[in-house]
Structure 1
Amino acid sequence: MKFTKTTEQDSNYNNLEKMSVSELLFNINKEDKTVPLAVEKALPQIEELTKQIVLKLKEGGRLFYIGAGTSGRLGIVDASECPPTFGVPHELVIGLIAGGDYAIRKAVEFAEDSTNQGWKDLQEYQISPKDIVVGIAASGTTPYVTSALEECNNNGIITGCITCNQGSPLALTAQFPIEVVVGPEFVTGSSRMKAGTAQKLVLNMLSTASMIQLGRVKGNKMVDMQLSNNKLVDRGEKMLASELNIDQETASELLKKYGNVREAIKNYTNE
């Protein structure tokens, strides 16, 4: 199959600068509506990678996301949300970006073009076959990501990827590829748009489904969430009040005593 970068093809729209604000927003939204349908087509691939992630995490391994630019930032966002949402250690899900932490806010020139830095960045975490690595690249051609996955394969480490072009070098390198083909962007080549949205949706699926499979959700509630602000404390109290059929004042006392929704439920039931 010939590899074609659909993410780089000309937009379906032209003369954008002549559109009104209303027209611009309508057409961007029209394009965005196609993204979940593209993700739906990739569900079998997403399922396969999720199962691998769950398996590795249950065995004591870690999940690594590695990307450049927007893709790298999206991986870091997803990784950083896992501890407060699911109460897991910060070391369980790790996001890496070409150019290091500086690149989270500002572009680092040519960082994504390195063919050895990705593997070096992974090695800093003493990566091993216990772990699993997911490369993220809309184009599917980013050297920093693809070369890192190649080295992972050579060292017995399970690899997956999220890309928005079919048959890309990255997808051919990853053992468990996810290809969400969203087509041309509204602004030609601006893969922070539909491609970025698709990657975010898939990352939500991978981490959320994995954490649920690891027992980090009870019913439909985040019982292991970190109570790091007043909003979350209030949410925790309401969870307890509903689950245990108690008033919020009692729930507040329980939460202060045990510091965690799950522990409060467990200990209240045993009291």
Structure 2
Amino acid sequence: MESVMILLFFALGLLFGSFFNVVGLRVPKKIPFANDRSRCPNCDHQLAWYDNIPLLSFAIQRGKCRYCRKPISSIYPVVEALTGVLFALSYIQIGLHKELLTALLLVSMLMIILVSDLAYMLIPNKVLLFFLPFLAIMRILESLEPWWSSLVGAIAGVVIIALVIMISRGGMGAGDMKLFGVLGIVLGLQGTLLAFFLSCIIGAIVGLLLIVLKIIDRKQPVPFGPYIVLASLITYFYGDGLIDWYITIL
């Protein structure tokens, strides 16, 4: 029964991941997605339902559009698979508990942000404003300890990034600041500080590798959102263990 539930959440994540790709790519450009079928970004041909089967369509078509044969961005299957894995992980870690809804909402928001930031270097306000009330309500229903941690975490998230923006004169963006404000509600004060620390470490390591491998230029701007996404997921699922481990080695 347990394996069936894990597979169910993985399949659910695949389906939602496909939708998150659409939302992440269309919302920043104000393209309607509620009643407009998916189209190939290269030839603009309307895609049939069998062109949109998560992972399977990409594999069958060998990563190319069925109509113009131009390559399909690998971000589509990556986000689908990642969402599937994270939905399954949420169930494995939490089980059928109301906190599971918080995890699924957080994963959903972060996957959409991952797509939009990679594509446009933009974290849409509409996405944050959509998820904010739901995450806030869930934190009221399943509060952190102490109860004020979510409020202080949200404030700390905004203030820390605002200071970084002022000191670095644009090293991070307003979208990152707003995102950390929302994350603060979910992660609390300790979690927000840990997520910020991890995002900086991950960003520095990945950025250095990209420069060494000459994938990007030293002065080339890169989206910071993916590092925040990864750091936030690590913090949400494993943050308590990391904090406890750090305290024990001091």
The TM-score with structure 1 as length reference comes to 0.29
The structure carrying a bigger helix percent of its residues is 2
RCO (CA 8 Å, sep 6+): is it higher in 1 or 2? 1
Structure with greater Cα Rg: 1
The TM-score with structure 2 as length reference comes to 0.30
